[in-house]
Amino acid sequence: MGISAYALADVPTFSRLPDLSIRVVFTADTALNNPYTLYVIRSTSAHPAGTRFATWALTDWRARLLALRLPGSVAAFAPLPGGCTAPVAGP
C-alpha cells in the first residue's frame, strides 16, 4: 500500500535517492534556496587552526564542492555573486 505524502528535500539529496518512487512537484522558487555560509572572524587573536580551516574551506573544498554535478550534468551548488576570498594569515 502506498502512502500519499509530500517531502521537502534539496536537489543534491533528492538525486541520491533514485530507488524511491517519488517525483519532483515544485522547484522554481528562490525561497527554496539552501545557502551554506562560512564566516571567518578576522582579529589579531585569531587561532592559527581557524585560519588554516578557513583557507582550506575557501580554496580546496569550495572548488571540489562547486565541481559536483547531478544527473544531467546540472551543477549541485552555485556560488553566490561577489565571490569569496581566503583569509590572509596575520602577523
Q: Where are the domains of the chain?
A: 11-75
Q: Is the dihedral of CA 68, 77, 39, 58 positive or negative?
A: positive
Is the pLDDT at 1 greater than 70? The verdict is: no
Write down the pLDDT at residue 25: 81
Question: How confident is the model at residue 35, as a pLDDT?
Answer: 73
Query: Residue 24 — pLDDT band, cuts 50, 70, 90?
Result: confident
How would you classify the pairing of strands 69-70 and 74-75?
antiparallel
| pLDDT tens readout for residues 36-74 | 777 766 666 667 887 788 788 877 888 888 888 887 788
What's residue 89's pLDDT?
57
CA distance 89 to 53: 12
The reported pLDDT for the residue numbered 76 is 80
